[in-house]
Structure 1
Amino acid sequence: MALRVDLTFDCVRAKVLAEFWKLALGYEDEPPPAPFATREEWVASFGDLEDDGGDGAWLRDPSGVGPRLVFLEVPEPKVAKNRLHIDVRVGRSAGQWAVISAKVAQLVSAGGRVVATFEGHHVVMADPEGNEFCVAA
């Protein structure tokens, strides 16, 4: 049986980041595991988790190819650069820079910000919590 990789992000605002990354990657909310009707019901099944007062969000690639993304709220803010980042690949085409630029504009309108632009190649961005990622062909 092949193993599956999930990417889990500790963050301050799980729902905000989940909405941003759904837009960035075309992901969708992952339903709770059976037999639970909601994520809240599933979380409650773990009992009283004193250290875990935060929210969470679980996303999946609708095609089933990409990794699951999990966003878990933690009380402490980010203090250093991540050692792992996501590359958002928009696909190679004759007008790939226009496609990259359009995706960047969409993500800026959703709360992302441009960190650096490498004209014709890629754009380094930050999501609403400052996690850096790249948009490239």
Structure 2
Amino acid sequence: MDVIMQLTIDCADPQRMVAFWCEALGYAPEPPPDGHTSWREYWTALGVPEDELPAGAGDAPESIIDPAGQGPRIWFQRVPEPKVVKNRLHLDVKVSGGWDVPMAVRVQRVNSTVERLTGAGATLLRTLDGPDLDHFAVVLQDPEGNEFCVA
């Protein structure tokens, strides 16, 4: 049996999250299946009654994919309630190059990515760089408050 995995992130504004996370991960909005102009059109072609789809659902992509086909699909599921507590799962955006790269280079790579992502709507929470760590990471929040790390 093949196991297919996707990450689902609850949110208020899927299109805003699609734009942000495409920028953060180098992903692309997932196009609707061949022969369909939108996901909404695809879902109704499968038999989902139009009146059962929320207003605007599927009119624009609500999921993103890795163009290289290596990372998981991420779906941004619109939910009515706001985020109120710390998320129990978070993404790590790994850009430093790993332990074989000198610390100064890792710090520069992380900081460059943090600057790009804060420009795209992320909020800086804290830096993880204690004197006893051979590690450098920055904790951010996406535009809807979900925490993630750049390391």
Both structures adopt the same fold (TM-score exceeding 0.5): yes
More moved, 68-77 vs 35-44:
35-44
Change (3 A) 1:74 1:65: same
Deviations 1:74-126 (A, max 9, x none): 22211222111101011333311100000000000001011110135101100
Deviations 1:40-72 (A, max 9, x none): 312333213547346461110011110000012
More moved, 60-69 vs 79-88:
79-88
Structure with the larger strand share:
1
Task: Please list, as runs of the form range in 1=range in 2, the aligned pairs for 1:1-137 lying within 5 A after superposition.
Answer: 1-45=1-45, 46-48=48-50, 50=52, 52-53=54-55, 55=57, 57-90=62-95, 91-92=97-98, 93-94=101-102, 95-119=105-129, 121-136=136-151
CA contact (8 A) 1:54 1:74 kept: no
Taking structure 2 as the reference length, the TM-score comes to 0.81
> What SS class does the counterpart of residue 9 from structure 2 fall into?
strand
* Uncovered stretches (5+) of structure 1, i.e. residues with no partner: none
Superposition RMSD on alpha carbons, in Å? Answer: 1.8
One-letter amino acid of the structure 1 residue matched with residue 147 of structure 2: E
> What SS class does the counterpart of residue 20 from structure 1 fall into?
helix
Equivalent residues, number: 136
> What SS class does the counterpart of residue 124 from structure 1 fall into?
strand
Taking structure 1 as the reference length, the TM-score comes to 0.89
